[in-house]
A and B are shown apart, each in its own frame.
Chain A
Amino acid sequence: MSVNRRTFLKSSAIVGGAFGLGTFPSFAHASVAHLNADGVDERALVPQPSPQKKLSILILGGTGFIGPNQVRYAVDRGHDVTLFNRGKTNPGLFPKVKKLVGDRNLPDGHNVLKGKKYDVVIDNPTTLPQWVKGAGEALKGNAGHYIFVSTISVFSSYLSPLDENGPLHEPGGMDTPPDQARVGANYGRLKVRSEMEAKVQFGDNVTIVRPGLIVGPGDLTDRFSYWPIRIEKGGEIMAPGKPTDPTQYVDARDLSEFIVRLAETKTLGTFNATGPKSPTNMAEMLYGIKAVTTSDAHFTWVDADFLQSNQVREWSDMPVWVPPRGDNAFMLQMNVSKAVAAGLTYRPLAVTAKDTLEWYHTRPAEEQAKLAAGIAPYKEKTVLAAWNARKPAGGP
């Protein structure tokens, strides 16, 4: 479940090392002035002035996948950050940041927060509405702004490009036990209930951010990472569905930075937070990833029905993809214009892909050998062989 500290620090150092920007010889007159430390072309981003007011920010969680990105960004922008968690995941992270310890599954798990006052509370890890309730009761009157990280899984179906008012699941039960949190549709339902509970506890001062698939360095689910890793390996790659099938994802850093800026501007309301800004598709994603490698990858597009009949699962075996039909027709075509207008910006895909690969190569060999998502190599080969055998010679 967790990245160990050594791995994390190592990966941080490597990403940091890639920041070594310099100057090109004078003949080319190339400028890097518009590239920021992440190699992001800042001209493409909405200008982000330094915050005028320094905030006290309590981050619930903060040591998993998206949390560390928030912490780094918030600290860099001068905010006073406190972490609250069990102290079990990556406890060595951020030695200079204040830490409070508590277990949110316990009845008095939030007690350490009582009497403390924060401008903003960012709640990252919550899957149970009881956690929101616990935090709300402990912080009653002492939190100026509560930002809840929800999910686009709150929607019950995706029959059009949904904005924030799309149809939601029936809310899950307030007292669902922790071991049931991710069973069946519980995840989406409990997030719906948690969103409701956020408003019960924190009134109007609530922001709900609903990310789609969160990707990039640090992701232990490998759901996006599968593709850069597979493409880098090269050869014939099974690509799912049609090249024009839509896809969406959001770099954990873009999401985290957006959340911190929402705190700075105290922007309230609900936001779909996936990307990129404009529609993209599977071919653009896969070919874009190929562009950061020197791989000889070539792509064979295998249709959705064939994949299904060969027990190749969308999303898990073929990550970042669901066939655009039925209830999921527009699952990867969420309307994100509200978040974009509120300041969500996007790194180029090439940056996400490159950083994901660099991070992957810093992971322990046994983790590199066993990805948590994506079809197994032998299965890919078998299904490709079957697909190629059924096509007429010289066919598309």
Chain B
Amino acid sequence: MSQSSTHRFDPATVQPAQKKLKILVLGGTGFIGPHQVKYAVDRGHTVTLFNRGKTNADLFPKLEKVLGDRTLPTAYDSLTGRKWDIVIDNGAQVPSWVREAGAALRNSASKYVFVSTLSTYVNRRAIGIKEDGEQHKPAAPDATQQNAQYGPLKVRCEMEARAAWGDRALILRPGLIVGPGDLTDRFSYWPVRIERGGEVLSPGTPDDPVAFVDVRDLTEFSVRACENSLSGDYNCVGPKSTLTIAEMLYGIKAVTTSDARFTWVNADFIAEKRLRPYTDLPVWMPPRGDNAGWARMDCSKAINAGLTFRALADTARATLDYYHAQPPERQATLKAGLSPEKEVETLAAWHASGRA
């Protein structure tokens, strides 16, 4: 695998780790997995992938791959008798998966890394919520996506992880994960939209704070956390210091040669038009009520433990490069953000409202 960066804003040159680890990655072929695996391999670790062999099966041809289906009782039979230093569980949303992986693997590895979410917190009303913030009431141990919400499911998953691994569990709670490979388009909408140019509907006030984490920053931290034998819970979102949505949008514009210009439409008008923060207007959450501290989580614990953040220009450029490499039909259907028609219609209504 190549070590070189995709563009000049990505300064990353990967240094080898001092101690080489044997890492078992559950999943590893979705959004965050491939970045994590690539970084782990670049650091000199030995990585085994465990999954169904159905998603991106041709990825990482040189790595050992073990097939298993976590929905089946026999899921982990193929791993019996093997030993690893670390098990990383990227994608589990179902408590039984975490419980069963724990039962099968807790004597085969010394550490378990579980990628959880900031959605485990019951709200984000306060500014600077730390890892001991109040979490949702956990979903039932046998709950699934069919009968429980994402946040409560992940709370239960965390509990299962601690039950199986005790203080050998490392729980990462990322916020919005963005960058190349993202299939949700929740950040990508903005670089793509800004690159297209013209009048861009910009939500809220220019000073509203935003928070997100580049998938590469998150995954690189997860690998270094393994090397450093971290355990416990970590909020993982960036950037390190406050970033406003104007800084984000104008920063994205800076990697393009677009003629984009920004019209700021206030949160009340957006609510009246029934546009959804975060979904129709990605990344943005009006900083009020239960979400007053949405973009101001306290991540100092992770930062002190080695979480670093790329420059926004790097994230934006890499996201655009990724987007342009997708098939035309994928490029044509973004999964988040306003449709061009809706944006034009809303901007016209805003200008006509006399509130602009």
Partner-B contacts on A (CB < 8 A): 18-32, 34-35, 39, 41, 44-45, 243, 276-279, 283-284, 287-294, 296, 298, 345-351, 353-354
Q: Lowest 8 A-B CB distances belong to which pairs?
A: A22-B4, A291-B251, A288-B254, A278-B259, A296-B241, A287-B250, A44-B257, A39-B8
B321 neighbours in A (Cβ, 8 Å): 24, 30-32, 35
CB distance from B292 to the nearest CB of A (A): 15
A283 and B250 within 8 A (CB): yes
Residue B45 is within 8 A (CB to CB) of chain A in the complex = no
Of A24, A277, A293, A354, which contacts B6 at CB under 8 A? A24
B52 neighbours in A (Cβ, 8 Å): none
14 further interface pairs, Cβ-Cβ under 8 Å (given A30-B322, A283-B246, A287-B254):
A28-B180, A28-B322, A28-B325, A32-B6, A32-B321, A35-B321, A39-B8, A44-B257, A278-B197, A291-B250, A291-B252, A291-B254, A292-B313, A353-B254
A31 neighbours in B (Cβ, 8 Å): 321, 324-325
Name which residue of chain A comes closest to B13, CB basis.
A20
5 contacts between A and B (CB under 8 A): A24-B180, A24-B321, A25-B34, A29-B325, A34-B324
A278 neighbours in B (Cβ, 8 Å): 197, 258-259, 261
B313 and A30 within 8 A (CB): no
A294 and B310 within 8 A (CB): yes
B38 neighbours in A (Cβ, 8 Å): 25
A243 neighbours in B (Cβ, 8 Å): 206, 246
A349 neighbours in B (Cβ, 8 Å): 253-254
A28 neighbours in B (Cβ, 8 Å): 34, 180-181, 322, 325
In the bound complex, what is the Cα–Cα distance between A23 and B259 (angstroms)? 29
Residue B14 is within 8 A (CB to CB) of chain A in the complex = no
Residue B139 is within 8 A (CB to CB) of chain A in the complex = no
Residue B5 is within 8 A (CB to CB) of chain A in the complex = yes
Known: A30-B318, A292-B311, A294-B309. A279 touches B257 (CB 8 A): no
B322 and A29 within 8 A (CB): yes
A298 and B241 within 8 A (CB): yes
In the bound complex, what is the Cα–Cα distance between A172 and B130 (angstroms)? 67
Tally B residues with Cβ within 8 Å of A: 51
Name which residue of chain A comes closest to B205, CB basis.
A396
Residue B247 is within 8 A (CB to CB) of chain A in the complex = yes
Name which residue of chain A comes closest to B1, CB basis.
A25
A350 and B317 within 8 A (CB): yes
A346 and B257 within 8 A (CB): yes
B261 and A279 within 8 A (CB): yes
In the bound complex, what is the Cα–Cα distance between A287 and B249 (angstroms)? 9
In the bound complex, what is the Cα–Cα distance between A31 and B7 (angstroms)? 10
Known: A24-B180, A348-B254. A30 touches B325 (CB 8 A): yes
B9 and A350 within 8 A (CB): yes
In the bound complex, what is the Cα–Cα distance between A284 and B258 (angstroms)? 12
Name which residue of chain B comes closest to A277, CB basis.
B259
**Counting chain B CB atoms within 10 Å of each CB, which of A25, A45, A291, A348 scores highest?**
A291
B313 and A350 within 8 A (CB): yes
Known: A31-B325, A291-B311, A296-B241. A25 touches B2 (CB 8 A): yes
Residue B59 is within 8 A (CB to CB) of chain A in the complex = yes
Known: A23-B2, A25-B2. A291 touches B181 (CB 8 A): no
In the bound complex, what is the Cα–Cα distance between A291 and B6 (angstroms)? 17
Residue B105 is within 8 A (CB to CB) of chain A in the complex = no
**Counting chain B CB atoms within 10 Å of each CB, which of A23, A24, A39, A283 scores highest?**
A24
Of B8, B313, B320, which contacts A291 at CB under 8 A? B313
Residue B255 is within 8 A (CB to CB) of chain A in the complex = yes
CB distance from B256 to the nearest CB of A (A): 6
Known: A291-B247, A291-B255. A29 touches B8 (CB 8 A): no
B58 neighbours in A (Cβ, 8 Å): 26
In the bound complex, what is the Cα–Cα distance between A346 and B258 (angstroms)? 10
A20 neighbours in B (Cβ, 8 Å): 4-5
B252 and A23 within 8 A (CB): no
In the bound complex, what is the Cα–Cα distance between A215 and B266 (angstroms)? 36
In the bound complex, what is the Cα–Cα distance between A27 and B181 (angstroms)? 8
CB distance from A395 to the nearest CB of B (A): 13
Known: A27-B34, A293-B311. A22 touches B253 (CB 8 A): no
A22 and B2 within 8 A (CB): yes
In the bound complex, what is the Cα–Cα distance between A89 and B152 (angstroms)? 69
In the bound complex, what is the Cα–Cα distance between A290 and B309 (angstroms)? 13
A287 neighbours in B (Cβ, 8 Å): 246-247, 250-251, 254
In the bound complex, what is the Cα–Cα distance between A183 and B128 (angstroms)? 55
**Counting chain B CB atoms within 10 Å of each CB, which of A22, A243, A290, A350 scores highest?**
A350
In the bound complex, what is the Cα–Cα distance between A23 and B56 (angstroms)? 18
B325 and A276 within 8 A (CB): no
A294 neighbours in B (Cβ, 8 Å): 239-240, 308-311
In the bound complex, what is the Cα–Cα distance between A209 and B144 (angstroms)? 68
| Those of B213-258 within 8 Å (CB) of chain A | 239-242, 246-247, 250-258
Of B29, B240, B254, B322, which contacts A350 at CB under 8 A? B254
B324 and A276 within 8 A (CB): no
Residue B312 is within 8 A (CB to CB) of chain A in the complex = yes
In the bound complex, what is the Cα–Cα distance between A40 and B59 (angstroms)? 29
In the bound complex, what is the Cα–Cα distance between A345 and B324 (angstroms)? 21
B257 and A276 within 8 A (CB): yes
In the bound complex, what is the Cα–Cα distance between A349 and B9 (angstroms)? 12
Of A34, A296, A354, which contacts B9 at CB under 8 A? A354
In the bound complex, what is the Cα–Cα distance between A353 and B313 (angstroms)? 11
Name which residue of chain A comes closest to B198, CB basis.
A278
A353 neighbours in B (Cβ, 8 Å): 254
Residue B339 is within 8 A (CB to CB) of chain A in the complex = no
B251 and A288 within 8 A (CB): yes
B242 and A298 within 8 A (CB): yes
**Counting chain A CB atoms within 10 Å of each CB, which of B4, B313, B326 scores highest?**
B313
B255 neighbours in A (Cβ, 8 Å): 291, 348, 350
CB distance from A157 to the nearest CB of B (A): 26
A35 neighbours in B (Cβ, 8 Å): 7, 321
Residue B3 is within 8 A (CB to CB) of chain A in the complex = yes
B206 neighbours in A (Cβ, 8 Å): 243, 283
Name which residue of chain B comes closest to A35, CB basis.
B7
B254 and A292 within 8 A (CB): yes
Residue B316 is within 8 A (CB to CB) of chain A in the complex = yes
Known: A25-B1, A298-B241. A289 touches B257 (CB 8 A): no
B242 neighbours in A (Cβ, 8 Å): 298
In the bound complex, what is the Cα–Cα distance between A268 and B47 (angstroms)? 63
CB distance from A34 to the nearest CB of B (A): 7
A283 neighbours in B (Cβ, 8 Å): 206, 246, 250
In the bound complex, what is the Cα–Cα distance between A307 and B16 (angstroms)? 51
In the bound complex, what is the Cα–Cα distance between A346 and B324 (angstroms)? 20
Q: Mark B181-205, 1 if CB is under 8 A from A, else 0.
A: 1000000000000000100000000
Name which residue of chain B comes closest to A345, CB basis.
B257
